Amino acid sequence: MDFVETIKQFYTTHLPGAQLEKNFIKAPCPFCQTTDGKKAGTLVVYLIPENPFVGYFRCLSHCHPGGFPLYFSQLMGVDAEKVPGHDPDREPFVRDIVYPIKHLKADILKFTGLMSKSEYAYFQEIGISRAVVEEMKIGYNGRYLIYPYFLENGKSYAARCILPGRKIDNFWYGDEKFAKEDFRIYNTPEIDRCEGGALFLVEGEDNLLTLKELGYPGISVPSAADLEHVSVERLAYVNHVLIVTANTPEAYLSARETATRLGFKVRILKWPAYVKQGHELADLAREKGKEFRTLIAGMIQSSRSFSPFSSPDKEHRKFFQQVEESMGQATSGRRTGFPKLDNALSGVRGINIMGGPPKAGKSCFNMQVSSEMARNKIPVIYYDFENGRQKIYARTLSRLGRLSDEQIRGSSKDEDVVRRLKQVYAEFKDMLKYFRVVTDRKLNPDIMRRQIDFLQHETRTDHTVVVVDSLHKLPFKDLSDRRTGIDSWLRHMEAIRDEQNVSFFVVSELSRGLGGSYDKKPDLGSFKESGDIEYSADNAMILLPDWDPVDPISTKERKSSLWLVASRENNPGKIAVYQLEYPYWGFKEL
């Protein structure tokens, strides 16, 4: 016997007057109070196949909260052994807390008595009936709507007060201890009623009420940020949790983090493509009216169990797309414009770290590599903590136009200079569509991720090159422990590389040897505060000048050797010699 048939048999056996109507069981509600002579309401049981809410019962008159078979058996006095899915070894959830004697019962009665037509009209605009508002015991204090937060014992010790139509204007009322994060679950008793079944977990009280109006069970938290305080233990005996947040990237990330903790029981409902950014369920209920029910049913039907892994189809498409893009190319990574460097690295991919002594030309080299990529329509973010945006732009103009800084900034009448300036300005403008320089000293990994998302969206590409100049000047939380900060950034770079298809070019400092000089022998141990560089870098390189800064002859022809000192896939060794073409701030590969 399948699960639906088992549920059907349970209710038809223990629900007096049960009648089967398509995918529902209907019967006179056994919980309605009929002492005043009124007819009992109708109790409905959902039997829709392959629906997470199969087995959920509720009274259409809202006489009593609904639930699943285990809760029904408690109300009807049915032996738990006869309930489908009963676990005799189940240990109930118990909070390690002593509840105070004083609670908000009297306050709630006072606030509900202050509800008037205008307050009920506010809820009616988003499709919420008076019956649902009264069931949830929502009140009014003359200015704010009062949403009592009931706990497992059925009592409320704190309530959230929200100004109608302005949810950012809110505060907590009651015992402040019960307004803390651990207690910020609205409609908590619903969890126990939904044992062995399903419930919604949504952002915002009004959004939950729109679902309650449709007959769905659920709980809510004040904001998406509060999702992190919903414990795995509290929802341990709920089989399916359907999460709905506002239609924003931040809220979706919070939902994913929560789903990762709760496991495969979670379904994150996806918003239809036409829904505006920032919209919530209440906005949709207001706009769609009677269509709202059909829309939610469709979102539930199309939802799938959450998985932190990409689907096999997506991984298959992604991999073969990359294979097709690299067919016919000598290298599978991003090309730098330096043939020998591209050959040595198989193109720029993964995390590439370049070290070198001061004034070796590391920044200049990376400016050239990144701007050449941008010219070839590869999106690049250049995180600069060394030179400043204007210097990067000026040196790029100088290199592209083969013009000195004086020629660019001067008022030359030379026709050739004027022509080249006009040409390079146009070329530079086109390049900037793919080239972003960021000098934010408050940068953190989350901001970096978001900026990468923005650039990929703006350029309509699914890959990015990120240049960091330099690793040792990235912002750290604890400036006194720079090595730990560097290792933390490298861990984040690894994740960003894998999750967002990013290639990194990172500038690093070298350690001084004995006597304060820099070792002329290129070695992985030369990197300053190397920490996890040897483990994180896909390629580690060192740029060593072949000229002596105190020798006027050698400085006229500045040549530097680039060495590959460690690589996951390529052979270490000397890559090439590069000559600085001064005053054009560009390197020539010899």
What DSSP string describes 284-310?
HHHHHTTHHHHHHHHHHHH-----SSP
Whether 253 and 371 map to the same domain: the answer is no
CATH assignment of the domain containing 218: 3.40.1360.10
Secondary structure letter of residue 540 according to DSSP: E
In a domain, 315, yes or no: no
Across 278-296, average pLDDT: 93
Whether 75 and 123 map to the same domain: the answer is no
Residue 324: band (very low, low, confident or very high) from pLDDT cuts 50, 70, 90: low
> Which of these, 211, 247, 262, 133, lies nearest to 219 by C-alpha position?
211
In a domain, 556, yes or no: yes
Secondary structure letter of residue 348 according to DSSP: B
* Cα gap 571→2, rounded to integer Å: 60
pLDDT score at 239: 93
Tell me the residue length of the chain: 590
Q: Please, is 143 exposed, middle or buried when counting C-beta atoms within 10 Å of its C-beta (0-12, 13-18, 19+)?
A: exposed
Summarised one tens digit per residue, pLDDT across range 521-568 is 777 777 766 566 777 889 989 998 887 766 655 556 788 899 998 888
Give Rg (Cα) of the chain: 32
Residue 512: band (very low, low, confident or very high) from pLDDT cuts 50, 70, 90: confident
pLDDT score at 407: 81
In a domain, 59, yes or no: yes
pLDDT score at 405: 82
In a domain, 514, yes or no: no
Residue 332 has pLDDT above 60, yes or no: no
Residue 236 has pLDDT above 80, yes or no: yes
Whether 387 and 343 map to the same domain: the answer is yes
Residue 413 has pLDDT above 70, yes or no: no
172 contacts 214 by C-beta, under 8 angstroms? no
pLDDT score at 327: 59
Whether 265 and 184 map to the same domain: the answer is yes
Residue 320 has pLDDT above 80, yes or no: no
Whether 293 and 361 map to the same domain: the answer is no
Summarised one tens digit per residue, pLDDT across range 363-405 is 999 999 999 999 999 999 999 998 888 999 989 998 888 888 8
Share of the chain above pLDDT 90, in %: 53
Residue 480 has pLDDT above 60, yes or no: no
Whether 78 and 109 map to the same domain: the answer is no
Least confident of 323-327, 360-364, 419-423: 323-327
CATH assignment of the domain containing 552: 3.40.50.300
In a domain, 92, yes or no: no
How many degrees, rounded to 5, is the angle at CA 281 between CA 279 and CA 287? 75
pLDDT score at 433: 93
End residue of a domain, out of 246, 281, 302: 302
Torsion angle, CA of 102/107/108/111, rounded to 10 degrees?
A: -170
Strand partners, 220: 186, 202
Residues 6+ apart with CB under 8 A from 181: 226, 229
Amino acid letter, 537: A
> Which of these, 150, 151, 112, 134, lies nearest to 61 by C-alpha position?
134
Residue 34: band (very low, low, confident or very high) from pLDDT cuts 50, 70, 90: low
191 contacts 234 by C-beta, under 8 angstroms? yes
Residue 38 has pLDDT above 80, yes or no: no
pLDDT score at 155: 94
Residue 158 has pLDDT above 90, yes or no: yes
Whether 265 and 406 map to the same domain: the answer is no
End residue of a domain, out of 282, 302, 322: 302
Whether 70 and 115 map to the same domain: the answer is no
Average pLDDT over the chain reads: 87
Least confident of 77-91, 165-179, 251-265: 77-91
End residue of a domain, out of 285, 302, 319: 302
Most confident of the following: 245-249, 315-319, 334-338 = 245-249
How many degrees, rounded to 5, is the angle at CA 281 between CA 277 and CA 286? 95
* Cα gap 156→119, rounded to integer Å: 22
In a domain, 272, yes or no: yes
In a domain, 521, yes or no: no
Domain that holds residue 200: 105-302
Q: Report residue 542 as tokens.
A: 């060192």
- Give me the helices (H) in 358-481, please: 362-375, 389-401, 405-409, 415-431, 445-459
Whether 42 and 128 map to the same domain: the answer is no
pLDDT score at 517: 65
Whether the full predicted model's pTM is greater than 0.75, yes or no, is: no
Share of the chain above pLDDT 70, in %: 91
Residue 89 has pLDDT above 60, yes or no: yes
Across 228-245, average pLDDT: 93
Whether 298 and 387 map to the same domain: the answer is no
> Which of these, 585, 581, 589, 580, lies nearest to 399 by C-alpha position?
585
Q: Report residue 88 as tokens.
A: 């005799």
Across 424-436, average pLDDT: 91
pLDDT score at 471: 87
Across 308-321, average pLDDT: 72
* Cα gap 444→449, rounded to integer Å: 9
Give the sign of the dihedral formed by CA 229, CA 230, CA 236, CA 240: negative
Residue 509: band (very low, low, confident or very high) from pLDDT cuts 50, 70, 90: confident
Whether 285 and 141 map to the same domain: the answer is yes
Please report, in angstroms and rounded to a whole number, the separation of the first and last CA atoms in the chain.
Answer: 78
Phi and psi at 313, nearest 5°, equal: -60, -45
Residues 6+ apart with CB under 8 A from 231: none
* Cα gap 376→348, rounded to integer Å: 14
Whether 36 and 140 map to the same domain: the answer is no
* Cα gap 502→322, rounded to integer Å: 13
Number of domains in the chain: 3
In a domain, 311, yes or no: no
